Amino acid sequence: MTFMTFHGVYVATSPDGIHWDRPRLVWRDLPIHVQVPGKTWFAYPSFVSPDQPTQETTGQHGYVYFARGFFGLSPPHVMSRLRFDIRIPSGATTDTDGDGLPDGWEQANGLDPSSPSDAALDSDTDGITNAQEYVAGTHPRGVFTRYLAEGASNKFFETSIALLNTASEPAHVLLSYQAADRTVRKETVVVGPESRRTITPGLLPGMQSAEFATTIESDAPIVVDRTMRWPPGVNAYGSHADRAVVAPGTTWYLAEGATHSGFDLFYLIENPGDQAADVSVEFLRPPPLGPTQSTYHVDPRSRFTLWVDTLPGLGDTDVSAVLRSNVPIIVERAMYLTGAGRAFEAGHESAGIAAPESDWFFAEGATGDYFDMFILLANPDDRSANVSSRFLLPDGSSFAKAYVIAPRSRFTIWVDQEDPRLRDTAVSAVVTSTNGVPIVAERSMWWPGPTSTTWGEAHASPGATQTDPSWCLAEGEAGPGVDTYILVANTSDQPRRIRATLFFENGQRPVSGTFDVAPTSRFNVYPPVDFPGTFSGVTRRRFGARIESMPEPGQEAGGIVVERAMYSGDGVRAWAAGTNALATPCR
């Protein structure tokens, strides 16, 4: 993607001609005409900094608007042959149907600019008319919503958000970024049919130095993944990622967490509502240490960061947490390890878990001299939990180990050290509470080995609480210096045939392939090898994916579990940075 700056001017006979109370949205609706020899593109500026209108003392037009911003152009190699200009057509800010809604705003949000009746409609049945949504800057057809509590754009962190649309119709998406100071910035994008799109919030004016949460609204179901890299650029030495959260909740659970041995632990809390949140945090520690508790205030429509290391009694321990709020919130956790003379040399991140469960499924896992794998368990109950962890190996064999987790405590399984069969292998896991006491389970992996003193990166993910026949991933990238693996676990005693479909940016059609997964085993899809020719001759290519279990004749499709692991180099070391995320069920 090539990002080009632009400067534009729009002239109107009155301030209302461009709805000057909302100039930023209108500017985004003005198309840019781009010409390269033999090719033509039309783009829309996503990152715009408009000035307030200036009234002319002479001339026939009256009001002049100036704006600066960016637009993205693909493929990037056309930079040396590029010329472009901005053409603002006479109807770009007109209101064809006379309903008070600019044509460009209606088109960007999936409304009909020729229908005068839609201003009075409540297209998303939220009790607010489309005209009121226009004034408020909200999505008039926002029937689908997702949330991300973590996000930062500055000289140290770079955040990107991947959006995947697997449907045959476009999705009109509104992203709202909520900062700690309660400022909210928004942008509207369209994700084409059967395609994915990458959003970089830090390119938005006012977001160059911000910590923020994100609310994503769409008029159609989409898949949302977020990745953070540090420092910004292609040679980042650290990264973490996660999928978006479905809905706010009043209780959240975090199994992983440590503040000893150079670890920094942060809880990220998003309050997307209009009422302040009072959040009680119960910290669960390994026995014989008991739980502790603290309370925090989070302003409406803002994001709050809690640095756990700084709290009394929590500066040198493993720790899980239960967060309870008087209003619905979103919770994520980020954990970093400082070493090798660099801040946050390694780090991983994961969203909170909505409820304890008895069964947890993990598709990803690897042990050996390179990887150290851990399963982190939290028991928030007042009763002990009897836990069985069944390990699934690539050859289809499996075996189980038993554990007892004390009430209201945290417990760690270091998988590499649990059994000789686990010393050097790829592995999936099924964790079950056998006595009916629900628990919370996550998995983390650290590398490179052979000891913790050499760790330079990590990733983590919660387990899935159920298998599903269809999973989607918005994020993925392959090419020189970056590898993506799609991990599939078949936890049943029956074989599964799966179909993997990759979706791309820039209008390329999806590609599909089928694979067989043995019973009680784990399987890798490696796109550069398993989709021959798809990634050849390309520096790097981003993609999303859908993984489906194919039904046998006369039967329903069987369940599987899917995760994604992605690794990249920093110009010196391969796999210096890495992320992992549980896939999203495609429903």
CATH superfamily of 142-338: TM1070-like (2.60.290.11)
Between CA 387 and CA 377 the distance in angstroms is: 9
What is the chain's Cα-based Rg?
25
- Whether 76 has a pLDDT exceeding 90, the answer reads no
- Whether 141 has a pLDDT exceeding 60, the answer reads yes
pLDDT at residue 28, as a whole number: 45
* pLDDT (tens digit per residue) in 388-433: 999 999 999 999 999 999 999 999 999 999 999 999 999 999 999 9
Percent of the chain with pLDDT over 90: 72
pLDDT at residue 553, as a whole number: 85
pLDDT at residue 18, as a whole number: 40
Average pLDDT value for residue range 106-116: 90
Tokens of 98: 């006379």
- Whether 78 has a pLDDT exceeding 50, the answer reads no
For 15, phi then psi, to 5°, come to -60, -30
* pLDDT (tens digit per residue) in 18-70: 433 344 444 444 444 444 444 444 444 444 444 444 443 333 434 444 444 44
* pLDDT (tens digit per residue) in 280-290: 999 999 999 99
What 8-state DSSP symbol labels residue 358? S
For residue 11, what pLDDT band results from cuts at 50, 70 and 90? very low
- Whether 579 has a pLDDT exceeding 80, the answer reads yes
**Cα separations (Å) of 235 from 163, 209, 449, 480?**
23, 20, 21, 12
List the one residue out of 92, 116, 86 whose CA is nearest residue 7.
Answer: 86
50-59, 91-100, 254-263: segment of lowest average pLDDT? 50-59
Residue ranges covered by each domain of the chain: 2-93, 142-338, 356-466, 470-585
pLDDT at residue 93, as a whole number: 55
* pLDDT (tens digit per residue) in 354-375: 999 999 999 999 999 999 999 9
Q: Is residue 537 left, alpha or beta, with left meaning phi > 0 and alpha meaning psi from -120 to 50?
A: left
CA dihedral 474, 477, 478, 479 (to 10 degrees): 160
Average pLDDT value for residue range 278-302: 97
Tokens of 417: 């050290």
What CATH architecture is 356-466? Sandwich (2.60)
pLDDT at residue 137, as a whole number: 84
pLDDT at residue 539, as a whole number: 78
383 contact partners, CB below 8 Å, separation of at least 6: 407, 435, 437
Between CA 324 and CA 486 the distance in angstroms is: 34
What CATH architecture is 470-585? Sandwich (2.60)
pLDDT at residue 22, as a whole number: 40
Q: Is 61 exposed, middle or buried (0-12, 13-18, 19+ CB in 10 A)?
A: middle
List the one residue out of 177, 149, 178, 161 whose CA is nearest residue 226.
Answer: 161
For residue 86, what pLDDT band results from cuts at 50, 70 and 90? very low
Average pLDDT value for residue range 141-152: 96
pLDDT at residue 370, as a whole number: 97
63-67, 218-222, 268-272, 578-582: segment of lowest average pLDDT? 63-67
**Cα separations (Å) of 436 from 382, 386, 432?**
12, 8, 9
* Intrachain domains 142-338 and 356-466 with the same fold: yes
Looking at mean pLDDT, say which of 153-167, 191-205, 528-542 comes out highest.
Answer: 153-167
Percent of the chain with pLDDT over 70: 84
Average pLDDT value for residue range 71-88: 39
Q: What is the mean pLDDT of the chain?
A: 87
Average pLDDT value for residue range 456-474: 98
For residue 587, what pLDDT band results from cuts at 50, 70 and 90? confident
16 contact partners, CB below 8 Å, separation of at least 6: none
Size of the chain, expressed as the number of residues it contains: 587
65-69, 219-223, 494-498: segment of lowest average pLDDT? 65-69
| pTM score of the predicted model | 0.85
| Residue ranges in 307-454 assigned as alpha helix (H) | none
